[in-house]
Amino acid sequence: MNETDFSTLVDQTGMTLTDDQKLVLFKAYPMFQAMVARATPPMPRETEPSVMFTPEVK
């Protein structure tokens, strides 16, 4: 994504940002995308809390 496209997307949100603020967000955008990619992969069923939780029955 280039800076012009990013600026257009920001403008469509309705936020009133200066060009400098948009530039700062644009520079951080690739890092944010990488974090989202690492945080959202499909998880195996074993990691679901309901599978790991064993209620204590009295």
* Rounded Cα distance, 11 and 2, in Å: 14
User: 3-class DSSP state for residue 53?
Assistant: coil
pLDDT in tens, 36-51: 888 887 877 776 776 6
CA dihedral 40, 41, 45, 51 (to 10 degrees): -30
DSSP one-letter code for 17: -
**pTM, rounded to two decimals:** 0.58
pLDDT for 51 equals: 62
pLDDT value at position 52?
64
